[in-house]
Structure 1
């Protein structure tokens, strides 16, 4: 049963990118499989990439190799990562797009004065490009994985972003589609909302600390206003 909670709306929302704001599954699969095939390795079914992503590009490459049962020398693993990056950077919007309804939800939240940002484990250059291409008009902060900065679920970067907004963690809702995202919110002292249209399932989101669950953009908007479906 859905329960509406009458609480104070959050002052900011911090979003994951892949599987949350932007459907990049076929994009990642396209570039990942292109890199694998350039090394004479078999392609992976796009649906399988749902379980491979979420912890950054280096981990993605490791999981891709495990999936196809290949063992490469360290220098070849680096070369495979470079091949993936080259393909992605050449056409970062290929086969990608915002999930239906989300641009309107973010626009309404922005109009209400809710601050909006993106934090992803995707490399920073690609995170910046994709987030700004689809949502740039409403975003005040965007961070991807940068050298020297810890990846999610470490709370360091979300706390830096909270400080840049001048907000306490409890005033921010962290929104994502994976257990890593739920743990990121929990570790940073932020409530976490798990979206059910992304790459991972409801059980993982609940197990990893989701406070809210959103089955569609309307439910996400309610969560951002403090009235969402409790997990």
Structure 2
């Protein structure tokens, strides 16, 4: 490890590794249009993301006129997923400096993991289409371990560490889900200030806050 303090680095996906708001926003607005709701803006979409696709749709409905019944919600959810499956990566791209930072961490001997509340098959589809999959030792989605084990529970971090064969873990994310999961697992967390936040990033309780991926390796070295 050449003295690097962590052997495994976990990354959230939406709003951390990849700016996915354009494609998620398209899918949300597709579902809203099915019930005559007005579309949400790109800025609002960024406020809706976090905690998984069902949570995102719930917030969108609450913001545009209120929640619907269970059966109607199930139908809208299928519409959203179908649209997202058709347009998973058309407007999505890694954040500036992300790929270089991942390569720099790999060069230091770190194993990389994706720890996202997005469903695993959608996470893999996105990463495959962006040709990023091979950079990661493991990819865990919100449904990988079963109900109740997604972030902010520590289970996914613990599983990522085990599957990567490491002992010293740090988390990189953008929301309270990431910070709380890391704290529950006894790991430090770095928050990316340009991601999708459910509270002002400086209030999330992260061990460090960065504005650009160029800062990540240095910050991890100092944690």
Question: TM-score, normalised to structure 2's length?
Answer: 0.91
Q: Answer with 17-26 or 214-223: which moved more.
A: 214-223
Aligned pair partner of 1:31 in 4, 14, 27:
27
- Where does the alignment leave 5 or more consecutive residues of structure 2 unmatched? none
Aligned pair partner of 1:179 in 176, 181, 185:
176
Q: Which residue of structure 2 lines up, in the alignment, with residue 112 of structure 1?
A: 108
- Could you list the per-position Cα deviations for residues 17-41 of structure 1 after superposition, in whole angstroms to 9, with x for gaps in the alignment? 0111100111111110011112211
How far did 1:8 drift?
4.4
Q: Distance in 2 between matches of 1:60 and 1:143?
A: 19
Q: Which residue of structure 2 lines up, in the alignment, with residue 67 of structure 1?
A: 63
Q: Distance in 2 between matches of 1:113 and 1:123?
A: 28
Q: Which residue of structure 2 lines up, in the alignment, with residue 131 of structure 1?
A: 127
Q: Is the 8 A contact 2:113 2:164 kept in 1?
A: no
Q: Is the 8 A contact 1:12 1:172 kept in 2?
A: yes
- The DSSP-based 3-state class of the residue aligned with 1:121 is coil
Q: Is the 8 A contact 1:124 1:143 kept in 2?
A: yes
Q: Distance in 1 between matches of 2:34 and 2:28?
A: 10
Q: Is the 8 A contact 2:49 2:56 kept in 1?
A: yes
Q: Which residue of structure 2 lines up, in the alignment, with residue 44 of structure 1?
A: 40
Q: Distance in 2 between matches of 1:42 and 1:109?
A: 43
Q: Which residue of structure 2 lines up, in the alignment, with residue 3 of structure 1?
A: none
- The DSSP-based 3-state class of the residue aligned with 1:40 is coil
How many pairs does the alignment contain?
A: 218
Q: Distance in 1 between matches of 2:102 and 2:129?
A: 14
- Could you list the per-position Cα deviations for residues 188-230 of structure 1 after superposition, in whole angstroms to 9, with x for gaps in the alignment? 11110011111128x7444332011111111112123x226xx
Q: Is the 8 A contact 1:118 1:131 kept in 2?
A: no
Q: Which residue of structure 2 lines up, in the alignment, with residue 15 of structure 1?
A: 11
Question: TM-score, normalised to structure 1's length?
Answer: 0.88
In the alignment, structure 1 residue 221 sits paired with structure 2 residue 217: yes
Q: Which residue of structure 2 lines up, in the alignment, with residue 77 of structure 1?
A: 73
Alignment RMSD: 1.8
How far did 1:43 drift?
0.6
Q: Distance in 1 between matches of 2:139 and 2:201?
A: 23
